[in-house]
Each structure stands twice: as C-alpha cells, then as structure tokens.
C-alpha cells in the first residue's frame, strides 16, 4: 500500500501487506516472503474516515490462490481488514478474516463506514462483507469486534506439503447472508433429471463444510469463487440501521493437479495448457457454460493463425500471453489447442516421484446438464441485515438467467455482479443481473416496486445525483458476462 501526495506526486508512505523481515507479521510467512511471495493486494477498494484520519484496507489472498505449501503460516496481512493512519501509514489495528487462504477468499468489496445505535449510544463502526457470506463489524478506533467471533476447527488438507490452518474465524452475528455448507439437501431441485446428474457427479467429489480444502479429487466450494458478496459491496441506511447486500449462491469445483517444481510449462504444450489455459477453459477444454467458451470446437471458428494471435494479443476478457514466453513456445501451445484431438493426454510434465507442487485445474462452476447451477435455487439473493440485532430482516431472490425465463420459469435468482445504492426516500436501486433488468426495491420489505429493461446487463453499481432539484439514477449497461451480450450504454432514470 502506497500513499502519494496529489500535489507533487511524491510518495508519502508505504505499508507492506507482506511484511519485511523484522516487521510485525513476518513470522506468519516463510523466510524472505517479501521477496518471494505474492498477493495480499488491496484490489477491492478502500474506505477513508476523514475525521479520524484512518483508511480501512481490505486485502486479497496470498498467491497461489489454492495451494499454500510454499507459504506456511497465517500469511498476514492477506485476507485482512487493516486500519492505517492515513497520514503516515502506521498500522492502527488489523483483523484477519481467513488464515492461510486456500479458497481465493479475498475481501471482495470496500468496507462500509457505519454508525451503530446501541442503548442510545452512537458507535463508529466499519462493516466488511465477504465471499463466504459473513459480515464482520469492528469499532473504527480500536478494531474491537462488535459482534462475537469464534475460532472454529476446520478440516485439514489431504494434499502433500499443505498445512491448512486448524481454525478459521467465524462471526456468530450478523447471520450469514448465504448458505455456507453443501450437502445432498443442496442439490438442485429444478427437475429430477438435473438432480440425478448432479448426485452422480458428487460421488466423485469432496463436499461439506465451508472450509473444506481443495483436493486432487475436486472439492465443492460453496458459496463459489465469486461469493457470496462480490465487488459491488453493500449499501447502508443509518436511519433504519439496515445493511443491504446482493450475493451469489452458486457452487464451484476446485480441483488440484500436481506439477513438477522448476518445470517450464511452455516447453511441453500439455503443461502449458494446464498452467495458462485450464484455469478458465478447464482441463477438458469444455469451458464453464457461463461465459468461458469451449475450445473443443474452436477450429470451427478460428484458424491456427487466429488462435495464435488471440493467445499472443488477447481478446475481450482474455489476456494476452505474448510477454510471458517465446513465440515458438506460444506457437506450440496454439498447436496443442488446434490439434487437441491428435494429442495424447498430458503425462510426463508431472512425473510421479518428482518434487511436486500443486495448481488449480481451472475455474469451474458446478453446473447441471442444462448449464444451470447444480445447487437448489435461489442462485442469487438480495438481503437486508439488521445491524442492531445481526439478524436478516428480509431476503429475496435476485434476477433470473435468460434461459430460465425462456423456459417459462422465473424467480430462481441468478449470479449477479454490481452493487446496490440506497436513497433517503427508502428505495434501493440494483441492476447486476443477467436478465438485463434494473430494479427498485422497498428498503423495508425487499419488494420490487419498479423495473426496467436495459439494452445489456448492468453489471455495475448505479450512481444517483440531482440536477435542478430533481433526482436521477444512472447505470452502466456494459454486459459481457454470464454469456450475455456486451453493451456500451449509460441509462439514466428520473425519480418522480
């Protein structure tokens, strides 16, 4: 974390989220971690309390996301909410939300600065929503927890060299705003064909409590890699003491594969595919059915040269790999994809008996045969949390997948990206869903009071403003996720 003088551009201070040797927290890493480790970045945004001169920084997970055999310890200040003195970067306090993260449970959104009313006393607090569906609430000045937090025992890892933390912090309140454990009761109930297929897949997978570690067989992560809460974050109404949060309720599969330490993956196209491509497209090249395309039919769309150029330069959401390796190695990887049906299965690049480490085999949603989430609906929710009691005041399904609407069904919820905005008049505005709808909700009940169709999904957080005494709300309709078309519109609405 660095602070710069906006007048001169001079760097004023730096705070190391991976501590230097001798600094507080360095003992929670391997030696010289500041030179060899990565991650623990502050990508989600921050909140500043100008009156107190504090900046509240939520941090991401340590690298690699799913294997920590080379970063033993709790890994401060990854997965933490850190309160820094905005003047000099001094750490005032911190709270780590996930120890030794193996689940990519970054803190995904900026915290909310809230004022809680307790027994007639105003308490300055900071609330942090998470991918796990928990909400952590701390006193801004001291970091004191304003609801109890317990360290609870969690399962150990079955992967060689991995030492998972034996406990994880769990808040007793507020109540989770998503389901946090996948069991057979959570299998989709949309129809029996889908349910039977999901149960058959589960026979080969590990599943259970929230912090079930990744495995070679494949582990269900629930809620999935995109939460729970996501980067849109929460909205707050101080008068009602309600915190409003939209969330995803979709299972993902985290499957680990072994790689030989020191092996250059691009020297073997199969290894290069696993490290560079399988993270999105999957080891089977089938994509995820929710925005990541299959490569099995890529030759019907692209020539070999076009595949090479896309891999070199990137396209859309896919980054380019031209700066990562030599052109002939990238050409070999493009050939592996183009001639995939002529290659044998990957084998020698992870030789048995070698010195191994482990990587994820891909970012894979757990889907049913219709490419809908394998869990029972709702798959997306919108909730109001009473921050005085910690109870869920209301929760409603949010959005629908277009394919669900096309089948004549509705109200099942859908993955959503983007946050809500609350108005003083008691409204909530939220888009975020793949059905391209922009909705207004009643803050008291969660009832949809109004909705409008957008030219593309509004995967963004709306903004509200006033001109000439009239209030407006505007949303960016950019689309481009969850197999939905892209857009390039800002759409504004006037409030009555």
Write the pLDDT tens digit of every residue in 414-462.
Answer: 999 999 999 999 999 999 999 999 999 999 999 999 999 999 999 999 9
The pLDDT assigned to 349 comes to 44
Across 157-171, 308-322, 330-344, which has the greatest mean pLDDT?
157-171
The pLDDT assigned to 296 comes to 85
Domain ranges (residues) in the chain: 262-354, 400-496
Task: Give the strand pairing for 121-129 and 167-171.
Answer: unpaired
pLDDT in tens, 21-62: 999 999 999 999 988 899 999 999 999 999 999 999 999 999
Three-state secondary structure readout of 156-204? CCCCCCCCCCCEEEEECCCCCCCCCCCCHHHECCCCHHHHHHHHHHHCC
Residue 341: band (very low, low, confident or very high) from pLDDT cuts 50, 70, 90: low
Rounded Cα–Cα distance for residues 317 and 1 (Å): 26
What is the average pLDDT score of the chain? 91
Instruction: Tell me which residue has tokens 């959104």.
Output: 109
Q: Give 209's DSSP letter.
A: S
Rounded Cα–Cα distance for residues 41 and 46 (Å): 12
Whether the pLDDT of residue 343 is over 60: the answer is: no
pTM: 0.87
Top-confidence residue, 112 or 314: 112
Q: Give 278's DSSP letter.
A: H
Supply the CATH classification number for the domain 262-354: 1.10.760.10
What the block records as the tokens of 186 is 């959570």
């Amino acid at each position: 974390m660095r602070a710069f003088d906006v007048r001169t551009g001079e760097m004023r201070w730096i705070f190391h989220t991976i501590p230097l040797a001798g600094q507080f927290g360095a003992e929670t890493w391997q030696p010289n971690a500041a030179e060899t480790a990565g991650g623990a970045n502050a990508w989600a945004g921050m909140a500043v309390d100008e009156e107190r001169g504090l900046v509240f920084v939520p941090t991401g997970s340590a690298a690699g996301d799913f294997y920590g055999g080379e970063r033993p310890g709790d890994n401060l200040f990854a997965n933490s909410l850190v309160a820094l003195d905005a003047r000099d970067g001094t750490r005032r306090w911190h709270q780590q939300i996930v120890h030794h993260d193996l689940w990519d449970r970054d803190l995904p959104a900026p915290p909310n600065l809230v004022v809680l009313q307790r027994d007639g006393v105003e308490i300055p607090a900071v609330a942090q929503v998470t991918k796990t569906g928990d909400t952590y609430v701390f006193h801004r000045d001291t970091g004191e927890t304003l609801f109890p937090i317990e360290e609870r025992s969690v399962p150990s890892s079955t992967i060689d060299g991995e030492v998972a933390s034996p406990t994880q912090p769990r808040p007793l309140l507020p109540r989770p705003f998503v389901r946090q454990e996948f069991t057979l009761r959570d299998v989709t109930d949309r129809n029996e064909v889908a349910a039977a297929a999901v149960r058959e897949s589960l026979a080969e997978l590990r599943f259970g409590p929230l912090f079930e570690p990744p495995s070679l067989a494949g582990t269900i992560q629930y809620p999935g890699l995109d939460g729970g809460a996501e980067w849109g974050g929460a909205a707050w109404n101080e008068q009602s003491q309600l915190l409003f949060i939209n969330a995803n309720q979709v299972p993902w599969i985290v499957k680990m594969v072994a790689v030989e330490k020191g092996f250059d993956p691009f020297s073997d196209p199969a290894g290069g595919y696993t490290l560079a491509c399988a993270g999105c497209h999957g080891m089977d090249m089938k994509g995820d059915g929710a925005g990541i395309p299959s490569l099995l039919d890529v030759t019907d769309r692209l020539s070999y040269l076009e595949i090479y150029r896309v891999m070199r330069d990137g396209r859309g959401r896919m980054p380019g790999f031209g700066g990562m390796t030599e052109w002939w190695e990238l050409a070999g990887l493009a050939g592996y994809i183009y001639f995939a049906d002529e290659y044998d299965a990957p084998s020698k690049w992870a030789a048995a008996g070698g010195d191994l480490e482990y990587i994820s085999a891909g970012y894979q949603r757990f889907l049913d045969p219709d490419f809908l989430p394998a869990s029972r609906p709702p798959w997306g929710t919108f909730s109001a949390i009473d921050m005085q009691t910690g109870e869920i005041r209301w929760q409603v399904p949010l959005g629908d997948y277009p394919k669900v609407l096309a089948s004549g069904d509705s109200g099942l919820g859908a993955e959503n990206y983007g946050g809500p905005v609350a108005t003083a008049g008691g409204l909530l505005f939220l888009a975020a869903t793949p059905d391209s709808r922009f909705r207004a909700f009643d803050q008291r009940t969660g009832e949809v009071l109004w909705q409008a169709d957008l030219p593309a999904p509004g995967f963004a957080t709306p903004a509200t403003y006033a001109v000439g005494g009239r209030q407006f709300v505007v949303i960016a309709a950019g689309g481009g996720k969850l197999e939905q078309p892209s857009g390039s519109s800002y759409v504004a609405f006037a409030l009555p």
